[in-house]
Chain A
Amino acid sequence: MKILVCVKRVLDPQVKARVKADGSGVDLANAKMTMNPFDENALEESLRLREAGTVDEIIVVSVGGGKTDETLRHGLAMGADRAIQVVTDEALEPLAIAKVLKSIVDKEAPGLVLAGKQAIDDDSNQTAQMLAALLGWSQSTFISDLKVDADTATTIREVDAGLETIRVKLPAVISVDLRLNEPRYVKLPDVMKAKRKPMDKIELDSLGLDTANRMTTIEVIAPEARAAGVIVNSVSELVDKLRNEAKVI
């Protein structure tokens, strides 16, 4: 089976986002960027499926300009076989990304598409579900366990009430949560090897899709900071503050 893994280049999760003074967005100039953590879990799972003999080819795909190819190289170093970059400098909305990914799926015909459940920059949590919709495929979201059989996949979903197991027909689009696995570290020889792996670059315009944004960002601001707190010296002082100052117990 061929598998497609969708990845996004995002601000490193350890870095706190800083809003630009003019309110136009988050300042990413010189910021440390990385593969979206959930997407790393998706890629790791595809590697394990290949190691188990279920998958024979892994394609990583990303949509973006700038140094998106660096993120794809990281995916190749982790172990993907080849990469596809759909090149655009526009910041596309999830619906547009889903349309782009559909065109890649139409061309590559994978048996399974994996993606992170959300990107940690815009926190939309939409693209996988939208891609499944546009393809008319089954979906399973926020999964922490995956078993792939001949024509179905059995997934455990992390839902608000606990864990839900659903079985989906293949081909399917599946979005993954962090507890699915622990992504492997990339070793230097893998980085060297990744440089020789194929990477296709496709210009967004060449796909002939309507990817116009439906939303205008009016402004991006920092949330109100919490007022500085106090350090209490003892449990009894804490209880006193909670009872008599904050009045919450």
Chain B
Amino acid sequence: MSNLAQKNLVVVEHDNNEVAIATLNAVTAAQQIGGDIDLLIAGENCAAVAEAAAKIAGVASVKVADNAIFGHHLAENLASLIVDCAAGYSHVLAAATTFGKNVMPRASALLDKAQISEIVEVKSPDTFVRPIYAGNALATVQSSDSIKMITVRTIKFEAAAAEGGSATIEAISSGSDSGLSSWVSQAVSNNDQVDLTSAKIVISGGRGMQSGDNFHMLHSLADKLGAAVGASRAAVDSGFVPNEFQVGQTGKVIAPDLYIAVGISGAIQHLAGMKESKVIVAINNDSEAPIFQVADYGLVADLFEAVPELDAALSN
């Protein structure tokens, strides 16, 4: 297939103010597929998002459905809109965030198309690589569907340039309220920490931290390094930190330049979320902990001594 045959529609994730960085990764995946790239924005009072999206490098046109029914990205309304807009496209993509994972399968089924989840590589316009078994295997799959419905694992695609494009903006009036679901509230933890998914350095704590209070040690270290703080599922389940800190198969998949695992044993499910990190440090008092098998630098030590010492060393 030549690139001329491809036409990509990327579903933009946003908060009605800003384009989510993850969308820029999805745009890069679309660039690798080749052909035109259009964006679809559904939101409420989201003109600022449309203006920002039109500047993304390589984008031809931005379709904007500005309507209160899209304000909270409810899957039922948004999936119907994607279906309305999908005609003429060979590929519809979204980032594999909780936003994309929620809506894309619904749109895919309405279109009677399979979905190719969490691609990590574009081999050709119809062939993609995706991780299975918590990343312990990589499957290369070829799709025969006329529209390829794709979610993109963000860490494997560089973000497209947010500036440099000059796409046209087209308002679309499509969409109606399904009446099936309603948004009630959102609880975002009150923290001003560095964004976990885009941080260059991440320091994560596990069950070994023993309490939520002890995470202050990691936050102190993070402040010195400009790092984000993450956690294993065990630490989240123990109530030390909220779920949005979680790194792993059921949390966020990240690939920072430096990942420091503190008091984390290294279950398969945790490794699935961080083993693509460039450099991994493990600090754990159990020398048999599986985390040491993926660590570039391992320190077998009591974290309650090692972390303050590290903090002090970085203050110098």
Contact = CB atoms under 8 A, between A and B. Distances in A.
Given A124-B117, A129-B106, 16 more contacts: A95-B112, A125-B101, A129-B102, A130-B115, A133-B109, A162-B188, A163-B186, A169-B181, A213-B114, A218-B141, A230-B297, A230-B298, A235-B301, A235-B309, A242-B297, A248-B201
Contact of B300 (A13, A162, A231): A231
Contacts of B233: 178
Interface string B237-269: 100001110000110100001100000000011
Interface in A119-133: 120-133
Nearest to A132: B106
B132 interface: yes
B183 A238 contact: no
B117 A95 contact: no
B115 A124 contact: yes
Contacts of B181: 138-140, 166-169
B239 to A, nearest CB: 10
Nearest to B225: A249
Contact of A160 (B109, B187, B252): B252
B142 A218 contact: yes
**What's the dominant secondary structure at chain A's contact region?**
mixed
A141 interface: yes
A214 interface: yes
Interface stretch (B37-45, B46-54, B161-169, B276-284): B276-284
B116 interface: yes
Interface of B: 72, 74-76, 79, 97-99, 101-110, 112-118, 127, 131-145, 178-189, 197, 201, 225, 233, 236-237, 242-244, 249-250, 252, 257-258, 268-269, 275, 278-281, 287, 292, 294-301, 306, 309-310, 313-314
B108 A130 contact: yes
A239 B313 contact: yes
Contact of A142 (B98, B106, B117): B98
23 contacts: A17-B133, A19-B137, A130-B105, A133-B107, A138-B178, A159-B99, A159-B244, A160-B252, A162-B243, A163-B186, A164-B187, A165-B183, A166-B72, A179-B237, A218-B142, A222-B137, A223-B131, A223-B137, A230-B297, A230-B298, A231-B292, A238-B310, A246-B297
A141 B115 CA distance: 17
A161 B21 CA distance: 13
Interface in A216-235: 216-223, 226-227, 229-232, 234-235
Scoring A11, A133, A138, A241 by chain B CB atoms within 10 A of each residue's CB, the highest score goes to A133
Contacts of B109: 95, 98, 129-131, 133-134
Interface residues of A, number: 79
A123 B186 contact: no
A165 B184 contact: yes
Interface in A60-117: 93-95, 98, 117
A7 B197 CA distance: 31
A66 B89 CA distance: 39
Contacts of A216: 141-142, 144
A39 interface: no
A162 B186 contact: yes
Contacts of B314: 239, 249
Scoring B107, B143, B181, B183 by chain A CB atoms within 10 A of each residue's CB, the highest score goes to B181
B235 to A, nearest CB: 12
Of all A-B residue pairs in the complex, the 10 with the closest CB atoms, nearest first, are: A17-B133, A130-B109, A138-B180, A129-B105, A133-B109, A214-B114, A126-B105, A165-B184, A248-B258, A218-B140
A235 B258 contact: no
A164 B183 contact: yes
B137 to A, nearest CB: 5
B306 A235 contact: yes
Interface in A192-225: 213-223
B134 A123 contact: yes
Given A130-B108, A214-B114, A120 B249 contact: yes
A45 interface: no
Contacts of B249: 120, 123
B117 A164 contact: no
B257 A248 contact: yes
Contact of A229 (B138, B185, B280): B280
Contacts of B108: 95, 126, 130, 133
A169 B105 contact: no
